[in-house]
């Protein structure tokens, strides 16, 4: 359910589908490096139509007992769940039970601006309803079971952040409310609705999650702190239609392939669902890859990070239960291999070193690039060096040998020139996801 921020988007260029030359040797080397260096645990699958192109499994679903991840391991998919919820809504629209213009006040008049908020605005994050998972107090109850009334009270108490339709702002509250609307219309639980959909399109390992059961090949999630540490486990009574489904990469590829082949909802519903404004549709987003536009959704909950996307008949699902590397970097490596684009294997060999405060202070400043619209600020606070790109949060930099500063979770390297064993502080190269950009201090 977390919002995932990507530091860089891929530049425009030309891609071709490299089906004739696909052997995935380099991609296997890429995942070998991630696995060896404790950067990623999870599962990856890519399809062309209904044909499996590539799959890879890394690490463990349960670190303590070293239970390996395999094709049947299920992962919490986070906000990819929203695609399923959107499909269920469009199925009810097709039955005439509601429309994109139906007002929230028909179901929950107590929500701020309910008489002005439409189902379409809930689906496309244009309702203005505050995202309750953004608040600090959410961390205090996320592991506790909540009832429908509890969640309605929380959402109602948070109010609205803007007028309905004024702009797009991601909010899990929208999809919790859509869950309750579905249940009221159908007189079925969200779990029953998901099961019915999955049975209909033959998804054998997709369902609503509960307390994680490693004995049932359900993956636990982890964060990295010198070793993999078990992450807190969100109660699945909270995310519901915003983020409560568990699945496998194979199942998710089948789901998105059938969705785009017209086997899940009507052509009219599909056209509505994939109608994009500013890259946002109804339960679906666009992701740039060179001149390609991938359609799908990211997901994040606890230590899980995920992505499901498709372009024409090429689909990709990445489900991870442990990351100390950038998900975006994994997506770019996979898509680069599929579409015949060059990319660099990550280098984890740099040895961390300590630098004098004077040296770190000299690096401070605002840096710009003729190749990228993002400015980067380098700041030294007396204890650590941080970098911050335009519109994003600061991240810490680890000093390594040869003028290299790294932030491994995002696959970022900032590389300064070194002359006579002294760092030249007026410019650097930003390296991420196989791309290099020159930056100069203003």
Helix/strand/coil for 121: helix
Name the superfamily (CATH) of residues 19-339. DD-peptidase/beta-lactamase superfamily (3.40.710.10)
Taking a C-beta distance cutoff of 8 angstroms, is the pair 88, 182 a contact? yes
Q: If you average pLDDT over residues 32-45, what whole number do you get?
A: 96
Region 235-246: what's the mean pLDDT? Answer: 98
pLDDT bin (cut points 50, 70, 90) of residue 1 is low
pTM: 0.86
Domain at 357-441: CATH architecture: Beta Barrel (2.40)
Distance between CA atoms of residues 105 and 103, nearest Å: 5
pLDDT of residue 7: 34
Structure tokens at 10: 């891929």
Q: Which pLDDT value is given to residue 387?
A: 95
Q: Residue 13 pLDDT > 50, yes or no?
A: no
Please, which residues have CB within 8 angstroms of residue 366's CB and are 6 or more apart in sequence? Answer: 375, 376, 377, 441, 442
Residue range 161-174, pLDDT digits in tens: 999 999 999 999 99
> What pLDDT band is residue 12 in, cutting at 50, 70 and 90?
very low
CA–CA separation, 27 and 54 (whole Å): 10
Neighbours of 144 (CB within 10 A): 11
In which band, very low, low, confident or very high, does the pLDDT at 393 lie, cut at 50, 70 and 90?
A: confident
Query: Has residue 233 got a pLDDT over 60?
Result: yes
What dihedral do alpha carbons 17, 21, 22, 27 form, nearest 10°? -100
CA distance 297 to 123: 13
Q: What pLDDT does residue 55 have?
A: 97
Q: What is the pLDDT of residue 238?
A: 98
Q: Rounded to whole angstroms, what are the CA distances from 8 to 113, 119, 170, 223, 377?
A: 36, 32, 20, 23, 15
CA distance 338 to 340: 6
d(CA 279, CA 8): 16
Angle at 26 between CA 21 and CA 30, to 5 degrees: 145
pLDDT at 11 over 50: no
- Express as a percent the part of the chain with pLDDT over 90: 85
Q: Which two tokens stand for residue 146?
A: 């909540």
The conformation of residue 80, written as its DSSP 8-state character, comes to G
Q: How far is 261 from 98, CA to CA, in rounded Å? A: 24
Instruction: Please give the Cα distance from 294 to 284 (Å, whole number).
Output: 10
Cβ–Cβ contacts within 10 Å for residue 55, how many? 17
Can you read off the two tokens belonging to residue 67? Answer: 């239970």
pLDDT given for residue 391 in this prediction: 83
Hey, what's the torsion of the CAs at 366, 373, 393, 388, to 10 degrees? -20
- Stretch 81-93: mean pLDDT, rounded? 98
In the three-class reduction of DSSP (H, G, I as helix; E, B as strand; rest coil), residue 11 is classed as: coil
Alpha carbon distance 67, 73 (integer Å):
10
What does residue 379 show for φ and ψ, rounded to 5 degrees? -130, 135
Q: Alpha carbon of 305 to those of 4, 82, 171, 245: distances in Å?
A: 9, 15, 18, 13
Query: What is the domain partition of the chain in residue ranges?
Result: 19-339, 357-441
Q: What is the mean pLDDT of residues 128-152?
A: 97
Residue 304 in this model has a pLDDT that exceeds 90 = yes
Residue 8's pLDDT band, with cuts at 50, 70 and 90, is very low
Q: Can you tell me the mean pLDDT for 421-436?
A: 89
At residue 361, the pLDDT reads 96
- The per-residue pLDDT for 15 is 56
DSSP label of 166: S
The C-alpha atoms of residue 207 and residue 132 are separated, in whole angstroms, by 24
DSSP string, 170-183: --HHHHHHHHHHHH
The pLDDT assigned to 18 comes to 58
Which residue's entry shows tokens 């230590």?
303
CA 272 to chain centre: 23
**pLDDT attached to residue 19:** 53
Q: Which two tokens stand for residue 294?
A: 């991938």
Q: Do the beta carbons of residue 314 and residue 294 sit within 8 Å?
A: no
Q: Which residues, at least 6 apart from 275, have a Cβ–Cβ distance to it below 8 Å?
A: 281, 282
Share of residues in the chain with pLDDT > 70 (%): 95
Entry field: residues in the chain = 442
Interatomic CA distance for residues 106 and 213, integer angstroms: 38
Looking at residue 165, its pLDDT comes to 97
pLDDT, mean over the chain: 93
């Amino acid at each position: 359910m977390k919002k995932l921020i990507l530091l860089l988007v891929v530049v425009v260029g030309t891609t071709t589908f490299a089906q004739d030359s696909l052997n995935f040797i380099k991609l296997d080397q890429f995942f070998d490096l991630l696995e060896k260096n404790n950067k990623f645990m999870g599962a990856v699958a890519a399809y062309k139509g209904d044909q499996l192109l590539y799959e890879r499994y890394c690490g463990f679903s349960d670190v303590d007992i070293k239970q390996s991840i395999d094709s049947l391991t299920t992962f919490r998919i986070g906000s990819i769940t929203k695609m399923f919820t959107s499909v269920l809504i469009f199925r009810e629209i097709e039955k005439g039970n509601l429309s994109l213009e139906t007002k929230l006040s028909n179901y929950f008049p107590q929500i701020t601006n309910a008489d002005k908020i439409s189902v379409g605005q809930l689906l496309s994050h244009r309702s203005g309803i505050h995202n309750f998972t953004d608040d600090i107090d959410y961390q205090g109850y996320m592991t506790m079971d909540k009832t429908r009334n509890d969640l309605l009270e929380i959402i109602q108490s948070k109010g609205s952040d803007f007028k309905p339709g004024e702009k797009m702002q991601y909010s899990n509250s929208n999809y919790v409310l859509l869950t309750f609307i579905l249940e009221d219309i159908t007189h079925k639980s969200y779990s029953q609705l998901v099961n019915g959909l999955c049975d209909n399109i033959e998804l054998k390992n997709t369902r609503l999650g509960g307390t994680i059961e490693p004995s049932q090949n359900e993956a636990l999630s982890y964060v990295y702190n010198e070793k993999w540490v078990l992450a807190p486990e969100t109660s699945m009574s909270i995310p519901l239609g915003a983020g409560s489904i568990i699945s496998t990469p194979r199942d998710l590829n089948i789901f998105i392939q059938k969705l785009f082949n017209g086997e899940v909802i009507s052509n009219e519903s599909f056209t509505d669902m994939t109608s994009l404004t500013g890259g946002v549709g109804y339960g679906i987003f666009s992701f740039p890859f060179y001149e390609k536009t991938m359609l799908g959704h990211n997901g994040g909950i606890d230590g899980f990070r995920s992505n499901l996307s498709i372009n024409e008949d090429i689909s990709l699902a990445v489900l991870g239960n442990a990351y100390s590397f950038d998900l975006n970097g994994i997506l770019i490596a996979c898509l680069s291999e599929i579409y015949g684009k060059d990319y660099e294997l990550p280098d984890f060999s740099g040895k961390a070193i300590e630098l004098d405060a004077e040296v770190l202070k000299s690096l401070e400043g605002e840096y710009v690039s003729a190749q990228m619209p993002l400015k980067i600020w380098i700041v030294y606070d007396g204890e650590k060096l941080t970098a911050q790109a335009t519109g994003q949060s600061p991240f810490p930099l680890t000093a390594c040998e040869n003028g290299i500063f790294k932030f491994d979770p995002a696959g970022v390297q900032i590389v300064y020139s070194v002359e006579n064993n002294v760092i030249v502080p007026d410019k650097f190269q930003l390296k991420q996801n196989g791309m290099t950009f020159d930056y100069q201090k203003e």
